[in-house]
Amino acid sequence: MSVVIEVASIVTPDSRRRPGPRELHQSKLDTVAYISDFFKWETIPWNEPSEQFGIFTSASNSRFNLLLSLAWLIDQNSDEMDTEAESYFTHLFNVLPKNIRGLSEYQYFPPSEGFNNFSHLLSRNIFTSYWFPLEIANTVHIDAVLPDGFSIGSSHRLRDELHNLGQITQQVIALNGKDSPIQYLDYSITWDSVHQLIQLIENASDESISLNLPLKILW
């Protein structure tokens, strides 16, 4: 299974819509209406629906959830570590992967969780997450419209968080090699593979800002 990573309007324009249940299209319209009312916008600050779109790709659940698990473990240990010291990266390479083996494949970090550095990456809805090209201080979790609700974050904040996370994984790769593996559940995933996914979503965040469109990660 995989997650879809897409930069596009929430409502799919008629030119790109595939045949499907009318209810799905209506739920997207209802989502936009709810968001507009929630933020008290008179108009949505991007075109809905928009003919313009950017990145449309997917990533395996295992790789995406490993990325989230790494971010969470780094976040929870950040106060005790000097991220400029080589010992930090040695610790990250040797210790954190062992901890990751005990985590769930479907990580969900509730909005009440305290985060130091990666709140817009981690505090998200497991099924439907939107990041808007706006400055939003904290992620918003909405339990309405969609069956499992959805979350809203800032593309600006997400881009910065992923850039910082990518710098850390890059240092680990520099010390241990890009093909060094992480044993995650029943998978063996290389640090370079995780780093590439970080860069992909960082680029999608940047594209969300430049195109003035939401970034969506959907399961």
Question: The tokens 């395996």 sit on which residue?
Answer: 60
| pLDDT tens by residue, 24-54 | 778 899 999 999 999 999 999 999 999 999 9
pLDDT at 134: 96
**pTM (2 decimals)?**
0.86
Q: Assess contact for 179 and 99: CB atoms under 8 A.
A: no
Question: The tokens 């989502």 sit on which residue?
Answer: 31
| pLDDT tens by residue, 122-149 | 888 888 999 999 999 889 999 888 878 8
Q: DSSP assignment, residue 189? A: E
> Can you tell me the distance from the alpha carbon of 120 to that of 65, in angstroms, rounded to the nearest whole number?
15
Q: Assess contact for 153 and 124: CB atoms under 8 A.
A: yes
Structural domain of 128:
2-218
Q: How many domains does the chain have?
A: 1
Q: Using a CB cutoff of 8 Å and minimum separation of 24, what contacts does 171-174 make?
A: 171/89, 172/89, 172/92, 172/93
> Can you tell me the distance from the alpha carbon of 20 to that of 190, in angstroms, rounded to the nearest whole number?
38
Q: Assess contact for 175 and 90: CB atoms under 8 A.
A: yes
> Can you tell me the distance from the alpha carbon of 182 to that of 189, in angstroms, rounded to the nearest whole number?
5
Identity at 93, one-letter amino acid code: F
| pLDDT tens by residue, 57-111 | 999 988 898 888 888 877 776 655 555 555 666 666 665 555 454 444 445 555 5
